[in-house]
Amino acid sequence: MSMLVEENAAKHRYEILVDDALAGFTAYLPRAEVLVFTHTEVDPAFQNRGVGSALMRGALDQVRDQGQRVVPQCPFMHAYIERHSEYADLVTSLT
């Protein structure tokens, strides 16, 4: 099973492809250098297979590489960051 996370800037979301099929996404609202993540969805056919975690890891790694920060309003992303403290430095608030 191959997984690829890529940004779909036109739709303001990061998408995860599993064997070339769209398996899920995490949506954001861009605010300057901050991305406000609002919603994450994984197709039921791909749930409980690590797809959601791979999506979070891929999206957060790309955010870090681009020098941006996140506001994790999405409960799934918020919980993921709480469990993976290596991403805590990316969290900020809107001022």
What is the per-residue pLDDT for 1? 85
Residues of the chain above pLDDT 90, percent: 94
pLDDT digits (tens, 9 = 90+) for 36-72: 999 999 999 999 999 999 999 999 999 999 999 999 9
Of 45, 40, 49, the C-alpha closest to 72 is 40
The domain ranges of the chain are: 3-90
Beta strands across the sheet bearing 21-31: 3-8, 13-18, 21-31, 34-42, 69-72
What is the per-residue pLDDT for 78? 97
Residue 95 has pLDDT above 80, yes or no: no
Round to whole Å and give the CA distance between 23 and 83: 22
What is the per-residue pLDDT for 94? 79
Contact 14, 5 (CB under 8 A): yes
- 86 or 93, which is more confident? 86
Give the count of beta carbons closer than 10 Å to the beta carbon of residue 23. 24
- The model carries a pTM of 0.95
Enumerate residues 6+ apart whose C-beta is below 8 A from 7: 13, 14, 15, 59, 62
Mean per-residue pLDDT, 21-27: 98
Please name the fold of domain 3-90.
Aminopeptidase (3.40.630)
Of 2, 4, 14, 10, the C-alpha closest to 68 is 14
